[in-house]
Structure 1
């Protein structure tokens, strides 16, 4: 059964745009997890432990009890995630100052457990934000989806150094372009073959740290070549929020 989420507000008008996101009218502003508003960063005066005090709208970063990322238990190898992508999706890839974000074009969707969700954007963190038994991966990709109410589902994919991965070439070309460029992503091709997963209720991992986000983190990491990881790290490195307390939440392995 799907966890009930808090409803997230939708944009009121097409004129409201998020910097470098290219989000269309009707896209939840929280779906752009890297808003370029009040200054925040991963170090110094704007570092994660200070996010909650930077602006009133970031208060949840400091007071929330269902924050992300978290430390996940060791892989259990349960049932695979029921995910059907819509094939190649075109959109804009641009550096927003905190990560390199691919913003999907209109009509991009993913079916997860029989529910059609809009693919809003994807981005990366190096190293990973979620850890497994206390150990981070080399990188982590977040595929952000929204349903018709504005509720968010994020599919997290961990990445380790290994073989070159052609499915990520188009996105990485955009990451190294130095300016916005058109890219293509194919979610199914970018996921590992084994798709067992952990799921929990959490939040955005960047300000405003909005809660009520359904997280689905795949247990099997993908591999990226050393050159591909170097391209990511050349764009942004150590852009990961530290893990947050699990509290009374439960990490599950079924939706």
Structure 2
């Protein structure tokens, strides 16, 4: 349990803290890029594991996946540009129930282009809603974005989006994660990892089948702030089942 909690803390701390002075610097390009993450530090050994995320979701196994039990309230209270993504930190009180456990929503963040692929298809933007249970076990709910109508939750968050990496800033009004989700909550499921160092495995992944829209301007604004793509390449599925 102590190890799970330690990994949870590492996953939920602003990623900039992991790349601060005296710690290992990682990124998405060059010598510190994804292909070298496992070599940068012994703490990143899991990045070369067999159950890594993201993946290309295909070769599905039919399963009776239970409907998601989502209880979200408006709780996005601060925003941070940590140099690796833009992250909205969430107040306690919102949760997702799965496998008889309650996972509290801790934060959500974004990758452009998408990290996961669905049947080989890439999307211009992907959101990751990160949840943790009382023992530090993680569940990530992933949602894909296509270009179209502006997204209300993004509009609220992007209005306060820091243009440079730095400390979290309070949002003027709390953002609701529900505004990020499609009406249909049908999903795929697989076991994977964090998609950034330390790439810890044992993460439950739920990828929503139906995308939502974001305007071209909203997607471009995120890309401009990141300065470069922030998606880890897809990893080998190996022997993992991808449930449909």
Name 2:25's counterpart in structure 1.
39
Question: d(CA) in 1 for partners of 2:93 and 2:8?
Answer: 12
- Give unpaired runs (5+ residues) of structure 1: 1-5, 12-25
Question: 2:160 pairs with 161, 164, 174, which one?
Answer: 174
Mapped to 2, the partners of 1:173 and 1:247 lie a distance apart of 41
Whole-angstrom distance in 2 between the partners of 1:44 and 1:152: 29
Does residue 1:244 correspond to 2:244, yes or no?
A: no
Conserved? CA contact 2:8–2:138, under 8 Å = no
Could you tell me which runs of 5 or more consecutive residues in structure 2 were left unpaired when the two chains were aligned.
Answer: none
Q: CA RMSD in A?
A: 2.4
2: distance between equivalents of 1:80 and 1:196? 9
Q: 1:203 maps to which residue?
A: 193
Question: Deviations 1:151-207 (Å, cap 9, x if unpaired)?
Answer: 000000111111111132222223245463223221222101112111110000000
From 85, 91, 94, the equivalent of 1:109 is: 94
Aligned to 1:156: 142
Instruction: State the shift of 1:86 in Å.
Output: 2.8
- Judge conservation of contact 1:108–1:120 (CA < 8 Å) in 2: no
- 1:186 matched to 2:167? The reply is no
TM-score normalized by the length of structure 1 = 0.82
Q: 1:228 pairs with 190, 213, 218, which one?
A: 218
Report how many aligned residue pairs link the two structures: 231
Whether the 8 Å contact between 1:204 and 1:213 is mirrored in structure 2 is yes
Structure-2 change in CA distance of 1:165 and 1:159 (3 Å)? same
